[in-house]
Chain A
Amino acid sequence: MKLKSFFAATTVVLASLVSPATQASGTLNVALHQDPGNWDPIATFLVSWGAVGSQVFDGLLMRTPDMKLVPGLATKWEFLEKNTKLRFTLRPNVKFHNGEPLDAEAVKFTFDRLLGEEGKKGPQQSNYNAIEKVVVVNPGTVDFLLKSPDPVLLTKLAGYGAMIVPPKYIKEKGSQYFGMNPVGTGPFKFTDYKPKVSLSLERNGAYWGGAPKLDQLVYRFISEPATQAAELQAGRLDVANQIPLAMIETLKKDSKLTVVSMDGPVALALRYNTQRGIMKDREVRKALTMAVDRDAIIKSILLGNAKPIASFQGVLSFGNDPALKPLPFNPTLAKAMLKKAGVKPGAQIQLDFRGPDSNFREVAQAVAGYLQAVGITVSLKPYETNVLLNDIIPNGKTGEMWQNQWGGWTFDYDNTAYAMYYTKQRWNPYDDDAKLNALLHLQRNTWDQVSRKATLQQISRYVADQALEMPLYSLNTIYGLNKRAKNMALPADGRFRFVEATVD
């Protein structure tokens, strides 16, 4: 035992030498798995941008951790002239971090930029095409003129591209500089950025929503989930946004750590190639779905950190129909159906998936095991993510099924469904269903949320009926936390906003 106490003593001494100075009170250390490289709101769509962007910038509207839209830089809004005009009343006395005032001019500048040449270079612009232009009514009021209905517009105005940026600062310094030294109206101010290494923010004492309690935020870019977990265990990290599922139990056992798991926006399914071989038969597709025990996968491999789904959307998604139930797990019936359809035992199919995704590797193997039990031989083909998403899927080079993963950040089925089922969309290389197309159009072009919901639910029922895919699960958003961090208000979409957060 003496050896142990010697080690303990040495450890304490060495640990104090090792710990960086940022462990001083009032500093929160956050891990992000990716560095977006540019902090300009119109330049990116990556989730990791949101983890920082929502601290530095505000939008006209904002979304709370429980996915409700609340006033942000706008205190109220109303639809005018048969929904072709959207009028915002701006919050008074708000200043950017550099002292510029937040007024209608700033809003106009932001959207002119987003919808103009600058925005053209980035991926955000296409989300806001419903906006014709922005007009200044008076310094505290601004009008959005709309050219087409967009029922998801309000949600999108809480999104990245619509975050308000300082006109004078950008005009003076240019977009390049702005991208590396962002200035906004948010609760935290930018202080330092080392590309691919770290980003530091400090509190904005003059924040309109009340000054944050933390002094400093330090983000570190760590792409390996196992490394994030190791840093948590070493006490050098307070928040980790990507931890390996396998380590959840280990982390929970650590007395200084805790793991938070909540419903998330990410949905996973195995999409079927309806043009290939045995997959052309709808009954075969249904049988394949029924052969896989999706609940067991969720319980054993994902350790309960996911929810079963019946359509390609999460539990929180608008358009989700709780009454729609997934096909039951019934391997006996599945075998019979396959036999009836004339599928011989030993039939070969190929499942394409993202190689670097270590969690899905296990899921894929489990699926293969279940299909093996009903006489289907599966070969798994790992692809680099980029190749799968850009080449294999859009060009229709897939096997009989592939890993379909979607992070519907709008939490609205429209965003997903259109891309997945409309003819010739990027993510839909094989299916061409006029009836489905019509339904998709219908829900897009109306402001009536009630009828939209009904249509969306109809769509998901139709898709399930056609067995275009095997919905697997909706993955929880999981964070690893050091218990010293309190009042974190962690959101399911990864867009942190630590106004109330404190550290012991």
Chain B
Amino acid sequence: MNSMQTAAPAPAGRSMQWRSLEFVLGALLSGVMLTLVLTSVWIFPDRGSLMDLAARLSQPFAHWDHVLGTDPLGRDVLARVLVGGRISLMVGFVSVLGASVLGIAIGLVAGYYRGFWDMLLMRCVDVQLALPFILVALTFISILGGGLGNIILFMVVSQWVQYARLVRGMVLSVREREFVQAARAFGVRDLAMLRHHILPNVLGPVIILMTLNVANNILLESSLTFLGLGVDPLIPSWGGMLADGRTYMQTAWWVSVFPGVAIMLTVLGLNLLGDWLRDRIDPTVKL
């Protein structure tokens, strides 16, 4: 049925390997990070909250007690990095899930049906896009207060727009293609149309956007903490640790480097997986 989409010729040798390597590396990194993070509460029952002012800022790789050193309050960095992953990953995944579901639904409707709904959506989109995110975050959070739920809610509310706009654009170009028009002529109903013909074609870029945004949102959480808002500082989060470790960069680099490494590994893993997924779904679909 998909005659318009030219399947990429099965590439020989190297690229095939790369694709598998991508998957292996991506799955490995994400899998390891995820496992470590999820089991962290068993490995470290005190959740990295044990403070020891006498042992503050001790060097990494020096004692078995504190393999990655301690932070300004004497808490174990390794424990905090692993436990902190929970918050950061939760912020990342939940917000992206919420935003994408909302955005895809709205984008599909707007792109397919056009007309009044499309215009309304696009005005909403424009208004949202015209508000610089950080400023909205600051205003929002100063009214509602910080905290995990509000931050996730806020990210969903400000990011569904990206998906809606992307999906709408994709739907617009796909729906003009011959095979869609042919199907319509055949009388295929709208819902089926959306599900079988249009949705698969827009999923690829959306998934990539999602994987990019998970990473982005983890970083965004750190920016919000940097600006003084965000979650309870007693609850470890990668972003919070990065922000708090800022003034210690010259004296105790490990306080911010290790959470940074954790972020990077996780993000790298997620993106590799996303790439592989996209390749599997349809290698010729443009982002």
Residues of A within 8 A of B (CB): 225-226, 244-247, 249-250, 293, 296-297, 300-301, 354-358, 361-362, 364-366, 368-369, 372, 378-384, 386-387
Contact = CB atoms under 8 A, between A and B. Distances in A.
A358 B247 contact: yes
B49 interface: yes
A227 to B, nearest CB: 11
B173 interface: no
B247 A369 contact: no
B53 A382 contact: no
Contacts of A379: 232, 234
Interface stretch (B12-20, B94-102, B186-194, B222-230): B222-230
23 contacts: A246-B72, A246-B247, A247-B250, A250-B250, A300-B54, A301-B72, A301-B73, A355-B229, A358-B244, A361-B233, A361-B244, A362-B72, A365-B51, A365-B233, A365-B234, A366-B53, A369-B50, A372-B49, A379-B234, A382-B228, A382-B230, A383-B145, A387-B142
B235 to A, nearest CB: 9
Contact of A380 (B145, B232, B251): B232
A216 B147 CA distance: 47
Contacts of B228: 354-357, 382, 384
Contacts of A358: 244, 247
A494 B232 CA distance: 32
B37 to A, nearest CB: 22
A480 to B, nearest CB: 13
Contacts of B230: 355, 382
A292 B49 CA distance: 16
A185 to B, nearest CB: 40
Interface in B12-44: none
Contact of B146 (A225, A354, A355, A369): A355
Contacts of B146: 355, 381-382
Ranked nearest first, the 9 interchain pairs of A and B with the lowest CB-CB distance are A356-B228, A369-B51, A355-B228, A244-B247, A246-B247, A300-B53, A384-B142, A380-B232, A250-B250
Helix, strand, loop or mixed for chain B's interface? loop
A246 B232 contact: no
Contact of B247 (A226, A364, A383): A226
Contact of B56 (A247, A300, A386): A300
A361 B240 CA distance: 11
Interface in B126-183: 141-142, 145-147
Contacts of A361: 233, 244
A24 B262 CA distance: 47
Contacts of B113: none
Given A379-B234, A384-B142, A387-B142, 17 more contacts: A244-B247, A246-B248, A247-B247, A250-B250, A293-B53, A297-B53, A300-B56, A301-B53, A355-B229, A356-B228, A378-B234, A380-B234, A382-B228, A382-B230, A382-B233, A384-B229, A386-B142
Nearest to B250: A250
Nearest to A357: B228
A362 B73 contact: yes
B195 to A, nearest CB: 45
A18 to B, nearest CB: 21
Contacts of B246: 226
A451 B247 CA distance: 47
A244 B247 CA distance: 7
Contacts of B51: 365-366, 369
Contacts of A245: 247
Given A249-B251, A384-B229, A387-B142, A296 B234 contact: no
Nearest to A296: B53
A381 B49 contact: no
Given A300-B56, A369-B51, A387-B142, A364 B233 contact: yes
Q: How large is the interface on B (under 10, 10 to 19, 20 to 34, 35 or more residues)?
A: 20 to 34
Contact of B232 (A366, A369, A381): A381
Interface of B: 49-51, 53-54, 56, 72-73, 141-142, 145-147, 227-230, 232-234, 244, 246-248, 250-251
A354 B228 CA distance: 8
A249 B228 CA distance: 24
Nearest to B228: A356
A363 to B, nearest CB: 10
A206 B218 CA distance: 59
A53 to B, nearest CB: 28
A202 to B, nearest CB: 35
A309 B141 CA distance: 34
Contacts of A378: 234
A46 B72 CA distance: 31
Contacts of A247: 247, 250-251
A384 B250 CA distance: 28
A350 B227 CA distance: 22
Contacts of B234: 365, 368, 378-380
Contacts of B248: 246
Nearest to B224: A355
Nearest to A243: B247
Contacts of A244: 247
A366 B251 contact: no
Q: Which of A225, A293, A369, A378 has the most CB of B within 10 A?
A: A369
A273 to B, nearest CB: 17
A382 B148 CA distance: 12
A268 B49 CA distance: 24
A296 B141 CA distance: 34
B251 A246 contact: yes
A250 B251 contact: yes
A356 B56 CA distance: 22
Contacts of B227: 356
Contacts of A387: 142
Contacts of A364: 233
B247 A365 contact: no
Contacts of A226: 246-247
A300 B51 CA distance: 12
Nearest to B53: A300
Contacts of B251: 246-247, 249-250
A362 B243 CA distance: 12
Contacts of A381: 145-147, 232
Contacts of B229: 355, 382, 384
B73 A365 contact: yes
Nearest to A229: B247
Nearest to B74: A300
A407 B244 CA distance: 25
Contacts of B72: 246, 301, 362
A378 B251 CA distance: 29
Contacts of B250: 247, 250
A298 to B, nearest CB: 11
Listed residue (B147, B227, B250) with the most chain A CB atoms within 10 angstroms of its CB: B250
A247 B247 CA distance: 7
Contacts of A368: 234
